């Protein structure tokens, strides 16, 4: 099974995350199948390759919770009309508020 997951890049104390398609059994820094975007939490910037993400989602790839949240904040689901579980995001929002 393929997941859309964050992969840590950047230097110490200055993390940048790549959004990658990766096999579930691989570790976080393992070999990715495809790079589909990046997320910079410090500058609050996101870049996503929409056609590649749509293609992966149609083939059955599952985004992790944080990737789903990032894509939703970037209004990805509104553009692509991909259904998502609103109840899951309510629970996830509560857990993210803990870190603020």
Q: What is the pLDDT of residues 40-98, one digit of tens each?
A: 989 888 888 888 888 888 888 899 889 988 888 877 766 555 455 556 555 555 555 55
Q: What is the mean pLDDT of residues 2-16?
A: 91
SS3 (DSSP) at 11? strand
Q: What is the DSSP letter of 33?
A: S
Q: How confident is residue 21, by pLDDT bands cut at 50, 70 and 90?
A: very high
pLDDT at res. 97: 54
* Angstrom distance (rounded) from CA 18 to CA 10: 10
Residue 32 has pLDDT above 80, yes or no: yes
Q: What is the mean pLDDT of residues 8-25?
A: 91
pLDDT at res. 89: 57
pLDDT at res. 28: 74
Residue 31 has pLDDT above 80, yes or no: yes
pLDDT at res. 16: 93
What CA–CA distances, in Å, run from 86 to 51, 68, 76, 95? 23, 11, 14, 15
Structural domain total, the chain = 1
CATH number at residue 73: 3.30.1320.10
| Residues 6+ away with beta carbon under 8 Å from 6 | 17, 18, 19, 20, 28, 39, 64, 66, 67
Domain limits for position 8: 2-97
Tokens of 26: 């691989």
């Amino acid at each position: 099974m393929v997941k859309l997951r964050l992969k840590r890049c950047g230097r110490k104390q200055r993390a940048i995350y790549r959004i990658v398609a990766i096999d579930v059994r691989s570790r976080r820094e393992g070999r990715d199948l495809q790079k589909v975007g990046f997320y910079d939490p410090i500058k609050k910037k996101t870049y996503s390759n929409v056609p590649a993400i749509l293609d992966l989602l149609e083939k059955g790839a599952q985004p992790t919770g944080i990737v789903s949240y990032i894509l939703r904040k970037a209004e990805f689901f509104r553009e692509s009309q991909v259904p998502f579980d609103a109840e899951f995001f309510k629970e996830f929002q509560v857990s993210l508020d803990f870190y603020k």
